[in-house]
Amino acid sequence: MASSCFIDLSGPTYCVVSGASHGIGRAIAVEISKLLGPKSLMLLLARNNDELAKTASLCQSDNVKVTYKSIDLGKASVNEMNNVLKNSLDGYKVTDFATSLIFHNVGSLGNLAIETSRMEDSDDLRQYYDLNVFKVISLNTQFLKIFEAIEDGIIIVNITSLCAIKPMSGMAYYCSGKAAREMYFKVLAEEKKNIRVLNYSPGPVETAMIDQVLDETVNDNLRDVFTSFKNQGTLLKPEMTAKKCMKVLQAGKFINGEHVDYFDDE
């Protein structure tokens, strides 16, 4: 059954956003910062420290203190992840917050220069899955360990893709990674009924990934699809999909663990 439980973020909230240095991650950080109540704390994660600083400046307010950390989540150890989260709480206790919220936005496209039928480099695949699946699970686990004291107030948002549920020619890395990642969060939602879990698919968004596909893909169909997106002006602005994500999240009508797309009816 779908929940009709409105999600109230007006109290003190701890919020993590990964992949927050640009694009969808930056837009999500900015939009969620507008909703958080007094004495809230945000932690922004990505590799590019300078761009993280820009995102932080856009999120800082009287209600929200923003901290950020440059970290390569594809290579970070469990201890490093745990320390980053704990260090961000400097001066705070877990119980200072009514809600703890994490957006798993970090992600990459994978190798677009090889046909699916020729994929054989397990090291390359492992590196891709480390960043997009395994380390996402590790970060989520550290988050849960730290905030289990307020488990009834835990909210997890996984930024997924239509590619998690629909195959896209030329994107075997991306599709399989998104599918594995989304299923992990669905299982978590099945097991932990008191944690709110949303798999949000942002739609086709105007980011650097679009140009990367056009530059690197060897799949003609994929190039045609993304060229059409650009030429027809159908790409969404990051701010548009971030606003929709906030709307879906706050309304709280989604089934726990459900895949909700930007274009789904409200």
| pLDDT tens across the length of the chain (266 residues) | 344 588 999 999 999 999 999 999 999 999 999 999 999 999 999 999 999 999 999 999 999 999 999 999 999 999 999 999 999 999 999 999 999 999 999 999 999 999 999 999 999 999 999 999 999 999 999 999 999 887 679 999 999 999 999 999 999 999 999 999 999 999 999 999 999 999 999 999 988 888 899 999 999 999 998 898 888 888 999 999 999 999 999 999 999 999 999 999 76
Predicted TM-score (pTM) of this structure: 0.95
Phi, psi (deg, nearest 5) at residue 26: -65, -45
* CA atoms of 68 and 77, how far apart (whole Å): 18
pLDDT of amino acid 146:
96
pLDDT of amino acid 2:
42
pLDDT of amino acid 149:
80
DSSP calls for 188-207:
HHHH-TTSEEEEEE--SB-S
- For the chain, what are the domain ranges? 13-205+239-261
The answer to whether 262 and 243 are in contact (CB under 8 A) is no
CA 117, chain centre distance (Å): 29
pLDDT of amino acid 3:
47
Q: What is the CATH number of domain 13-205+239-261?
A: 3.40.50.720
Phi, psi (deg, nearest 5) at residue 221: -65, -45
When computed from its CA atoms, the radius of gyration of the chain, rounded to whole angstroms, is 18
Name the packing angle between helices 135-147 and 78-88 (round to 10°): 40
